[in-house]
Every structure is written in C-alpha cells, then in structure tokens.
C-alpha cells in the first residue's frame, strides 16, 4: 500500500466572501435590522443591528472629519467595551487600519507599538485592573497637558496626532468619546460612501501584535479578506444562524475576540454579548442565563474557572449548544465536563495563530468523542495543511511528527514593516510555518504535540510537555498543570511540573512522582514539582513558559547549568 503523506486541503461548497467588512456589514444590517447585535452587560448597553450601524457610521464620519486618510493607522488600547466594535467596524468602512494594543502593555511596549505601526490616533480607556492608561499616556507624552485635541506634537510619539478617551470625563489634550463623535456633524454627508467605495477586500485593515517571547512583538498585518472569511467559516462550522447569541469573555484586542467573536457574529446576523470588561467567571454564567445564550468562547483556563465557580450550579445553562475552546491545549476531562454539565454538546476545539487570521483547524459536530478531545480537528474550508520535517522541509508520512504549515486566504499579508521576519515565517510558496509540532492521522485529523521551542530534550530523548500535562491532569487533586524543561548538567534538560491543586487539597512532590511511576516512561517523570496558585500568562490566557523557566531557574539555583551551551 502506498504511503500517505501529511497533506490535506479544505474542500468546501461555499465560496469565499469577496467583499470588504464595510460592505458585508451593510448587507447584514439590511437583512437583520432589529436583531440584537451587541449587548454589553457592564455598561448596560443593548443595540440592534440598525442602532449599531448608526453609531458605527457616526464614528466613521468623525474619523473622516478629523482628517484620517485611507491606510492611516489608528490604535485602540482598551479592555472589552461597546466602543470597541463600533471603532472596529468604523475604521473598516473608511479603510483605516486598526492597531490592536494589548490592554496589559506598559510604557515601553506601548511606545514601541504606537511608533512601529505609526499610529496617527489612539483610542484609550481610562483605567483597567492595575493599569491607569491616562497616567501612562501623560508620562509618555507630557506634551498632552498643553495640547489642543488633535494637535499633539510629542517627542517620544512623533506620528501620534490625537487621543480619544473612551469615556465622558475630560482630560487635557484629548477628546472624550462624546466630544469626538460630535465631529461627525462637520463631515461631508457623501464622504463616508465615497471612502467605503475606495476600499478593496485585499487591503490591510488590522495590525495585531503577537506576544513576543524574546525581543519586540511583531505586527501581523491582516486584510478584510483574511479576517472576514475566517470569522465566517469558524461560525459556519459551528452552524451559526441569526438566532445564535454568543458570550465573548475573551479580549477583543486578540483575534479570538474580534475575529471569531465579532466577525463570526456579524457574518451571520448573530448577537455579540460582552459579560464584563475583563474575564470574570461568574459574569459569564450570569450572562448565559440572562440572555439565553447559545454559545461561549474561551481558553481552557476560562472554562476551568467557570466549572469551578462556587455558584456554578445556581445558573441555568440549558440554552447553550456550542462554543469554542482554543488558545491552549484542552485537558480531556475539562472538555468532557463542558460537553455535559455545561450543556455544550457541540463545543469545538479550534487551532490557529494570529498570523493565520487565526483559525486553521476546527473540530466539527458529530465527530467521535475521542477525536473531539484528542485532536484540534480537520483543516478549515479553503485552506491547506502539510506537516514537514523541519530539517529537510519534506512532507512527512501520516502519523509522523513534524512542523505544521498552512496556506490559503487566511495567511497574513506579512509583519508590518518587517520583511526579514515575514520571510522567516512565510516561504516563497506562501506556506506559513507555525513552529508547532503536529501529527496528521489517516482521516486528516490534526494533533498538536507541542511547540518546537517548548520541546524538552532530556539525554537525547524528545519529550513533549503536553503528553505529561494530560497525564498529570488525571490526578484527582490537580486543577491545572504546566510542564517545562529546566537546565541540567548531566541530561541537558530535566522535566519540571508546575501544579495548581484543587481548592482545599494538599499534595507533596513525592506523591506526584509516585502517581507517575509505572504510568509514563521514567524519563518523563518530573524531577522537579512546584505547587503554585497561578501561572504567568498573557492577557489572552496563553501560558508564558519562557517566564516559567526563568522563575524556575532562579528558584532552583540552576543559573550555572543554564549557562552551559548545548550542541
């Protein structure tokens, strides 16, 4: 029998959408004018699609009135709020590129993102958690205090001309949100339609900074075509209709929120629901019950928090049907609970990265439980996937590990103003090299084994952390677990497990190691175990294993071993 290679393509009888976001937005509003479009619980806001369009077009005209031209960059630095999608759709209508800025950025990161993207205007929140955005902006641009709104000339931010504060309070040098919207009255009534007509679906419309583990983050540049189609096909794979009501607790600055969430809903006339500014487990449960939601998005840590919320059983979640868990590997037991006690039998796993708009694979309703919990599904419609030997670039046989590469409409235009990094990520044949180690089975299902950079090499043995994590999660006392490699003089690297125990439980390192004996290979048994209350993570819920390793090296006194160079 001829050997089958790890290549597959997404056959689909539905065509790609050859329209801009603004064009499709108008068509959806015409089709579903009185459908609930946006519900924001923490702001007490409810808008139909007709009402949302009125606010979007007011914002778009205000942007035109203050002089924003097609292709200029506008930043948004804010947690989830009603203004976020209004700005998202308004910028798309007039061809202005929206730059998503991580709400957890501090001064150095903010300065880099604004200058590297060349933002002319910044929309900012006031405060969120421990961040005081106004204070940080004034530190970075003290010139604001003596500037007229829209006339900023800051030494450290030479391209930034204006700042809009997304609240009603007044700050020197900034427009507040109502004051900014007032500018719409001075725009030419025909200008919006003219600007929208100039937009093409291949134009860049969004820059998202990927979390850099070393050095500065890179600005993945995405087009209307990239993100509109990905949002559509993610929701379509979930069988979304105009009757679906989606809880979006993930941050909007990330693809999960603004593409899978906002654009997934828009393309189907469905309802976007933001339960809180940042993730709060009980706020999600409350919103499901109050709004009779049909779907929830989240990373595994969010679903774990919802399941472990002390008031979980008080809420009626029976309206739920589906949802997506993505952003990190999902423990099998968590997936089973989500499908049963959270009433989400059609919950799906999606896999991707910012650079691919983001989703490349997704599980489907009706697949076996084993495939639902052990893979990230099959290739997405209109996309291609191959798994290659990272050394030779050759496609590997089915079942063999290699680097996952993807190609198609979803692959970003490139990294903003960084041709070198773009060439490193996207080869001449337009394959995006993900850096993820994966396998493809005979049916085309993809299993992500780990990151090339996360792989632990202990005494010549390749160890993928996810395998050990899945096993340790079966321990009855373990709530969450992350496995990393730490330096070792003899073996090069040793296995270390960071473990968060369930409430009220106690355990010892010896107990954890004893649980592993006879169940996993001896070289995979953690030499080090650290019990923790939390993990270093990005705002999107991705674990920062680089930071975990740095902390562990310090705590274990392995600085000397860390300096040893490995072949």
How much is the average pLDDT of 232-259? 97
> pLDDT value at position 562?
67
Q: Which of 373, 366, 359, 433 is nearest to 403 (CA)?
A: 433
- Between 36 and 390, the more confident residue is 36
What is the spatial order of strands in the sheet that 119-124 belongs to? 175-176, 162-165, 119-124, 73-77, 97-100, 204-209, 219-223, 414-415
DSSP state string for 377-442: -EEPTTEEEEEE-TTT-PBPBTT--EEEEEEETTS-SEETT-HHHHHHHB-TT--EEEEEEEEE-T
CATH architecture for residues 219-451: 3-Layer(aba) Sandwich (3.40)
Options 3.60.15.10, 2.60.120.260, 3.30.465.10, 3.40.50.12780; CATH for 49-199 is 3.40.50.12780
Q: Look over the chain and give the mean of its residue pLDDT values, rounded to a whole number.
A: 93
**Which residue matches tokens 């160890």?**
463
Distance of CA 331 to the CA centre of its chain: 19
pLDDT, residue 566, reads 40
pLDDT tens per residue, range 364-414 = 988 777 887 788 999 999 999 999 999 899 999 999 999 999 999 999 999
pTM, two decimal places: 0.86
Average pLDDT score over residue span 59-75: 98
pLDDT digits (tens, 9 = 90+) for 200-217: 999 999 999 986 444 578
Both tokens assigned to 549: 């390793």
In this predicted structure, the answer to whether residue 161 has a pLDDT above a threshold of 60 is yes
Contacts of 138 (CB under 8 A, 6+ apart): 144, 145
Mean pLDDT, residues 522-542 taken together:
86
For residue 461, the tally of other CB atoms under 10 A from its CB is 13
**CA–CA separation, 237 vs 176, rounded Å?**
40
Q: Is the pLDDT of residue 461 over 80?
A: no
Question: Does position 453 have pLDDT exceeding 90, yes or no?
Answer: no
Contact 531, 480 (CB under 8 A): no
How far apart are alpha carbons 466 and 293 in whole angstroms? 32
Task: Pick the closest to residue 159 from 99, 219, 105, 103 (CA basis).
Answer: 99
Of residues 366 and 561, more confidently modeled: 366
Q: CA dist 558 to 214, 287, 493, 553, 564, Å?
A: 20, 47, 11, 5, 10
pLDDT per residue over 264-294, tens digit each?
999 999 999 999 999 999 999 999 999 999 9
Q: Which residues contact 130 (CB under 8 A, 6 or more apart)?
A: none
Nearest one of 433, 459, 432, 462 to 450, comparing CA atoms:
462
The DSSP call for residue 31 is H
- Tell me yes or no: is domain 461-562 CATH 3.40.50.970: no
Look-up: residue for tokens 């996309």? 383
Which of 504, 32, 40, 61 shows the shortest CA–CA distance to 257?
Answer: 40
Position 2 pLDDT exceeds 80: no
Q: Where does residue 492 fall: left (phi above 0), alpha (psi -120 to 50 degrees), or beta otherwise?
A: left
- Report the alpha-carbon angle 445-470-298, nearest 5: 70
DSSP assigned state of 142: G
What the block records as the tokens of 301 is 């840590």
Sheet with 478-488, edge to edge strand ranges: 478-488, 492-501, 528-531
**Cα–Cα distance between 255 and 554 in angstroms, integer?**
34
Among 558, 542, 557, 566, smallest CA distance to 487 is for 558
Residue 541, pLDDT > 80, answer no
The pLDDT assigned to 565 comes to: 43
Q: How many residues does the chain have?
A: 567
Please state the rounded mean pLDDT for residues 173-180: 98
Sign of the four-CA dihedral 150, 155, 157, 158: positive
Distances (CA, A) of 261 to 120, 225, 240: 27, 16, 12
Three-state DSSP state, 226: helix
pLDDT, residue 282, reads 98
Which residues are 432's β-sheet partners?
406, 426
Whether 129 shows a pLDDT value over 90: the answer reads: no
In the predicted model, what is the mean pLDDT of residues 413-421? 96
Q: So what's the pLDDT on residue 465?
A: 87
Judged against a pLDDT cut of 70, whether residue 532 lies above it is answered with yes
Q: What is the pLDDT of residue 108?
A: 85
- Contact by Cβ (8 Å): 97, 204: yes
Mean pLDDT of all residues in 356-371: 90
Residue 170, both tokens: 């007044």
Q: Helices 281-291 & 300-308, crossing angle to 10 degrees?
A: 80
Distance CA 321, CA 340 (A): 11
Peptide bond into 323 cis (omega under 30): no
pLDDT at 1: 59
List the structure tokens of 262.
């906002």
- Please tell me the distance from the alpha carbon of residue 9 to that of residue 411, in angstroms, as a whole number: 14
What is the tens place of the pLDDT at every residue in 420-434?
999 999 999 999 999
DSSP 329: P
- What three-state secondary structure class fits 122? strand
3-state secondary structure of 470: helix
With bands split at pLDDT 50, 70 and 90, how would you rate the model's confidence at 539?
Answer: low
Domains 219-451 and 461-562 share a fold: no
CB 78 within 8 A of CB 166: yes
Report residue 150: phi and psi, to 5°.
Answer: 85, 0
Q: 22-31, 356-365, 503-512, 531-540: lowest mean pLDDT where? A: 531-540
Q: Which one is predicted more confidently, 105 or 154?
A: 154
Q: Would you list the domain boundaries of the chain? A: 49-199, 219-451, 461-562
């Amino acid at each position: 029998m001829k050997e089958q290679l790890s290549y597959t393509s997404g056959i689909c009888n539905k065509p790609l959408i050859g329209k801009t976001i603004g064009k499709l937005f108008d068509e959806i509003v015409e089709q579903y004018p009185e459908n609930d479009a946006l519900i924001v619980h923490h702001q007490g806001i409810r808008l139909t699609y007709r009402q949302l369009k009125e606010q979007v077009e007011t914002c778009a005209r205000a942007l035109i009135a203050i002089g924003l031209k097609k292709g200029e960059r506008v930043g948004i630095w804010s947690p989830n709020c009603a203004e976020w999608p209004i700005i998202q759709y308004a910028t798309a209508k007039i061809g202005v590129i929206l730059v998503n800025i991580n709400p957890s950025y501090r001064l150095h990161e903010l300065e880099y993102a604004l200058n590297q993207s060349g933002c002319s205007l910044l929309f900012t929140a006031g405060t969120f958690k421990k961040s005081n955005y106004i204070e940080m902006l004034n530190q970075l641009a003290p010139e604001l205090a003596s500037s007229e709104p829209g006339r900023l000339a800051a030494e450290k931010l030479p391209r930034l001309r204006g700042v809009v504060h997304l609240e009603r309070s007044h700050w020197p040098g900034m427009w507040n949100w109502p004051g900014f919207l007032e500018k719409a009255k001075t725009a030419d009534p025909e200008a919006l339609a003219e600007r929208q007509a100039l937009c093409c679906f291949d134009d860049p419309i969004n820059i998202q900074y990927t979390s850099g583990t070393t050095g500065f983050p890179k600005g993945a540049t995405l087009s209307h075509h990239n993100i509109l189609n990905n949002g559509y096909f993610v929701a379509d794979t979930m069988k979304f209709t105009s009757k679906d009501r989606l809880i979006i607790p993930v941050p909007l600055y990330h693809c999960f929120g603004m593409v899978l969430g906002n654009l997934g809903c828009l393309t189907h006339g469905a309802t976007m629901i933001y339960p809180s500014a940042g993730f709060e487990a009980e706020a999600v449960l409350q919103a499901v019950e109050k709004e009779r939601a049909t779907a929830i998005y989240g990373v595994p840590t969010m679903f774990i928090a919802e399941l472990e919320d002390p008031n979980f059983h008080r809420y009626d979640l029976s309206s739920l049907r589906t949802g997506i868990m993505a952003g990190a590997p999902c423990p099998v037991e968590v997936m089973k609970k989500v499908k049963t006690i959270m009433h989400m039998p059609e919950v799906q796993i999606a896999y991707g990265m910012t650079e691919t708009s983001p989703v490349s694979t997704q599980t489907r309703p009706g697949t076996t439980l084993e495939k639902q919990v052990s893979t990230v599904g099959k290739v997405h419609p209109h996309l291609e996937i191959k798994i290659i030997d990272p050394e030779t670039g050759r496609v590997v046989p089915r079942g063999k590990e290699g680097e996952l590469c993807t190609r198609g409409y979803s692959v970003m235009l490139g990294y903003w103003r960084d041709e070198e990094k773009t060439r490193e990520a996207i080869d001449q044949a337009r394959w995006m090299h993900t850096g993820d180690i994966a396998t493809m089975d005979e049916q085309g299902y993809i299993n992500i084994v780990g990151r090339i950079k996360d792989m632990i090499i202990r005494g010549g043995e390749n160890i993928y952390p996810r395998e050990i994590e899945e096993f340790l999660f079966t321990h009855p006392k373990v709530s969450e677990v992350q496995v990393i490699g730490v330096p070792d003089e003899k073996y090069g690297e040793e296995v270390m497990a960071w473990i968060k125990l369930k409430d009220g439980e106690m355990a010892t390192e010896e107990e954890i190691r004893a649980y592993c004996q006879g169940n996993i290979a001896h070289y995979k048994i953690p030499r080090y175990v650290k019990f923790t209350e939390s993990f270093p993570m990005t705002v999107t819920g991705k674990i920062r294993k680089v930071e975990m390793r740095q902390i562990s090296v310090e705590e274990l006194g392995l600085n000397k071993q860390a300096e040893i160079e490995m072949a």
